[in-house]
Structure 1
């Protein structure tokens, strides 16, 4: 495959994979910044004398920024392109990481967490969308899910980083300085992401819709070979001619169903409680009887399980399909959360809680984690994909905000058992919603998926 040569299949798989990996580094930022707070929060609480509500706000402020970022991401990418929008995300993330680590005022800390969150929000929409628009349909699920693999890699890495920093100094040092290093290290992946984005091409589908047909064809030819590129250009043109550019198209009967699926799955991904575990894992394990150091080690185990089963999902998604994995995952999540709720109810702690939390994380990682982002990236029409993906992603981040803000308060009021029972009920709803409403999109091109909604 030297010098960009094309394989017999007509496409350059190595080139597609390389470009997808670069875009997926955005997921690394996502994972890093959403999970780094889990190790820093106990020290921030002491540093700024935070109430349980303000602890929730310290975590959820990033999510507010992410919701803002997703709200603007679609319009920005439809106007300026996927690549430039991702560059903006990398810049905002880097600025947020630097300044949230050096401030001495809690209000300023929140402001820069929001700025970093805007970058995360933009990246969370644009990275999977960009990959979906360049990937061949047969391996699109695997390549888009690289973004989620990067997310959980970032989460896993930051758990080790937090543990290493926390063990580097005394408790007093962690309260004054350690949490700053945890947050500040985010500058490194932010700068790497920005530099790597400079070498990838723009989305050919976006270029074609802007009338830059020669550029679009050149990129598609490199991605999939000349013959397939010609066919793909024709499909994009036909799709654009039929659909128009108005967001009102999403409210028509077929596409209204697509929007419903995207929004509901996005909300359920967060409402089932995954990020409560990711953000507050050390505190959960402390409530289950673990000491400070033990709870951090168990948190690393959570990150490891998340990573391993996300890799398994990458292997399965284009073989088994999206819907089957969602059904299996949501069923196991429901069972796991039910058992965790019961264990807290009867006061049984330790291995019971750890095992079923790990099972829940594994089930989520193989299903709701990567597949919801994949579905959001692939089910919408070409001309409104950016805006429609933003609507679904805003819903996801708002749900994440509500859960993250409410979780510590729920633990203090109704207790661990009822809190996890609520998550279990929502996981059961995710199972039945998937069973009754969500279609299978495995192996279909983006234009074929669009036609599927027109026929419904």
Structure 2
């Protein structure tokens, strides 16, 4: 990068980042809607612990398929077409779940929703990272996490107010997802394609035009040169290229961090809020009210993380979050085991959410979008995020079974151990990436 002053079109960058991040909103919707709907679905479909876990986790299985397909689509056809397909899948699956009259159909539609979530979870942060200048990339990628938590909060609020309309409330909870899905599809139509993908596809003139909209001529010229240099001689697009010796360290970090973000256990709190608070005597109204409180805290502390991720850096936030969660889980397990008052339990549940929202939740997505080389970013990201959703399925599928055998408190001791192991991994393997261009990070990876 030259020493001349670089100016950015911040309004344009933020606008297209928010449009892309609407995929995160729908991710948050499909992720959160199950928490408010589960009390109704248990009665509607007479769910056993096994089926409750599988129904909840079927979203994760769909996400695996979505990640596998999205990575290939992103590298062959571009980031934008993949986002459009994800939007259509979101709309179809939302209506499919709402009109389901059998457990089989409902699970199939939730699996389909997972395909959309998996595609969006890969493509939205990848797209934002590729159109954002290095100095604000962390904040912009965290916009995706902001829309995820906004989707969670809005969905929890809607669930709370819909709960009083009767046994069919769950159908409205799921069906309303078609509205933001349509808005997302319309928004994606107006997005430019990623300039890094355009260069890789041989469409240099169009890439330059996009870069010139993002920043000054100096920024466009230097960034274009960096992209061309990083892609020279790199034409492989097969999964074999993902496991080349040169990129294995990045793959290891990406896969472990993605799995850790789920196996840390926080999504048990999000998805099984009603189960956790029911175990200490809270009624349905209190259970749903707790989901709203969780959504508010999640949103507030995600905004805090957006402000800090490009200041404090990725590594310090990950270290603080993993160790903090480990300690909080030990207290949570003790409170559940001793049947503490719901109010006291709520304090530590919200502390866990706050800790996660400022660390593992946004920073993992930022790192995954940054650490892989340009020529295989789509495929490499899909491998990491595939491991994330496989871990999500394992987590939410096993929780009802573990809680039935060990008590609701038992799994939280396990999650505390996992979080401490994650702290040790981050301390040893994760390097700081703030303030460096994607091409600089790639060069550093090759040297090491």
| TM-score normalised by L of structure 1 | 0.95
1:233 alignment partner in structure 2? 224
Q: Deviations over 1:310-333 (max 9, x none)?
A: 000000000000001111111111
Q: Does 1:291 align with 2:283?
A: yes
Structure-2 separation of matches of 1:261 and 1:225: 34
Q: Does 1:185 align with 2:176?
A: yes
Query: Which residue, 367, 372, 375 being the options, matches 2:359?
Result: 367
1:387 alignment partner in structure 2? 379
2:333 alignment partner in structure 1? 341
2:77 alignment partner in structure 1? 80
Query: Which residue, 9, 12, 31 being the options, matches 1:34?
Result: 31
| Correspondences of 1:238-317 after superposition (within 5 Å) | 238-246=229-237, 247-317=239-309
Structure-1 separation of matches of 2:38 and 2:336: 23
Give the drift of 1:108. Answer: 1.0
Give the drift of 1:254. Answer: 4.1
Q: Deviations over 1:189-228 (max 9, x none)?
A: 1001000011110101100100000000000011012111
1:4 alignment partner in structure 2? none
Structure-2 separation of matches of 1:223 and 1:152: 27
Could you tell me whether the CA contact under 8 Å between 1:243 and 1:381 is conserved in 2?
A: no
Give the drift of 1:380. Answer: 0.3
Structure-2 separation of matches of 1:190 and 1:395: 26
Query: Which residue, 199, 202, 208 being the options, matches 1:217?
Result: 208
Give the drift of 1:266. Answer: 0.4
Q: Deviations over 1:289-345 (max 9, x none)?
A: 211111111221111111100000000000000001111111111111011112223
1:5 alignment partner in structure 2? none
Q: Does 1:12 align with 2:9?
A: yes
Q: Does 1:158 align with 2:150?
A: no
| Correspondences of 1:84-95 after superposition (within 5 Å) | 84-95=81-92
2:142 alignment partner in structure 1? 145
Give the drift of 1:416. Answer: 2.1
Could you tell me whether the CA contact under 8 Å between 1:332 and 1:359 is conserved in 2?
A: no
| TM-score normalised by L of structure 2 | 0.97
1:124 alignment partner in structure 2? 121
| Correspondences of 1:86-125 after superposition (within 5 Å) | 86-125=83-122
More displaced stretch, 434-443 vs 347-356: 347-356
- Please, which runs of 5 or more residues in structure 1 have no aligned partner? 1-7
Could you tell me whether the CA contact under 8 Å between 2:6 and 2:218 is conserved in 1?
A: no
Stretches of 4+ moved more than 3 A in 1? 246-250
Could you tell me whether the CA contact under 8 Å between 1:243 and 1:249 is conserved in 2?
A: no
Structure-2 separation of matches of 1:418 and 1:242: 52
* Cα RMSD for the two superposed structures: 1.2
Query: Which residue, 208, 228, 232 being the options, matches 2:199?
Result: 208
